[in-house]
Structure formats: C-alpha cells, structure tokens
Amino acid sequence: MSIEIIDLGTQDYQSVWQHMRDFTDTRTNKTNDQLWIVEHPSVFTLGQAGKPEHVLNPGDIPVIQTDRGGQVTYHGPGQLVIYLMVDLRRRKLGVRQLVNLIEQAIIKTLSDYNIESKTRPNAPGVYVDDAKIAALGLRVRKGCSYHGLSLNVDMDLEPFSRINPCGFPNLSVTQISELSTKKTFSEVSDHLTQRLIILMD
C-alpha cells in the first residue's frame, strides 16, 4: 500500500483544514494514503477538547476552532506539520496504534539527532525532559484519519507563552534548533516522513 508524500509548502490553516475534510469525504478504498507536509503562518488552533480560557492572550494571532482531537496549540513558521491522511481499516490500525506510531517516529527521528525524548502518560505528544517538542491531534471519519502532528524545528516559541499548550498551564516548550546542531526544515521533514512510512508499512 503506497503512501504519497505531498509537500504543500506554506499555506494558511483554514484552507488546508478544508482540503483535508474534502479529501477524506471523497476518498475511496482505492485512494492512496498521503502524508501532507506543510508550514503554517502563525495561528492558534483549539481542538475538540479545547477550552477558550486556555488561550490567555492571543494578541494579533488568529484563533481557530477545529475538529481535531486535543486542546489548544500553536502553529507557525519554522514548525514542521505533517497531516496523515490514512485509511486505518485498510492498514488494520486503531487510533491508539496510530498515535503510538506517530510518537515513536518522532522519538526515533530525534534520537538520530542525539536528542533523547519520551512520551508522557495521559498527555499525547513528545517531550524532552519536561518540555514539549511535538504535539499530536487526530480526527477519524469513515475509518480514515486526518490532522496529524507538529514538530518544533527552528521557530519563535514566544507565542506558546500566550496559551496553556495542550491545556497544561506553564508547560515548557522546546525545539530541535535549541538541542542539536542546526537542521534544515527539509532535512527534518524528509527524515520524519521516512520514519513514518517505515513504521506504517
């Protein structure tokens, strides 16, 4: 079962979200799974469990209520976002299995950069010590996933201070550029997508 890699470049969140829903609604059992690589202009997104009070001071950054799982997070330039458009039934994957697979792909990618990371119980995502470096949020419709992961590569982390990331007050965040020799966005993107493909196959 082949997986197509689609590089969307930089695109606003709202249009990609609509594209995800359209793709999921119109796909058939013959549609190839896809990984969409994208970088978003600055935006806060509230997942289905998100509470408006976790957005402390958005300032001029837009806040969008979305249909993914999870709470509030920030997307911005220098952050790698990968959306997983995957037919879970065809791959015989449950949602929990997909979450574990994504987390392991991120952990293995970071390990290749000599960054030791881990998951935390009841708090999806990947952490370096107590600082969050990657967030996850998925939605499943018609047995197919959309939304996905975000990994902080080399970005301005200040906007995270304007929210309670993933609903946790005072949660620290970090990024690859602070923990490893400088990696380009495309290097990290290529590495992580290959890790995801290996684990899904």
Which sequence positions are flagged as catalytic?
A: 166
**Rounded Cα gap, residues 148 and 135, in angstroms:** 9
Residue 162 Cα distances to 44, 73, 92, 117, 170, angstroms: 10, 10, 39, 24, 10
Task: Spell out the residues 6+ positions from residue 99 whose beta carbon is closer than 8 angstroms to its own.
Answer: 124, 136, 138
Burial 106-131 (b: 16+ CB within 10 A, else e): bbbbbeeeebebebeeeebbbbbeeb
Give the other-Cβ count within 10 Å of 84's Cβ.
24
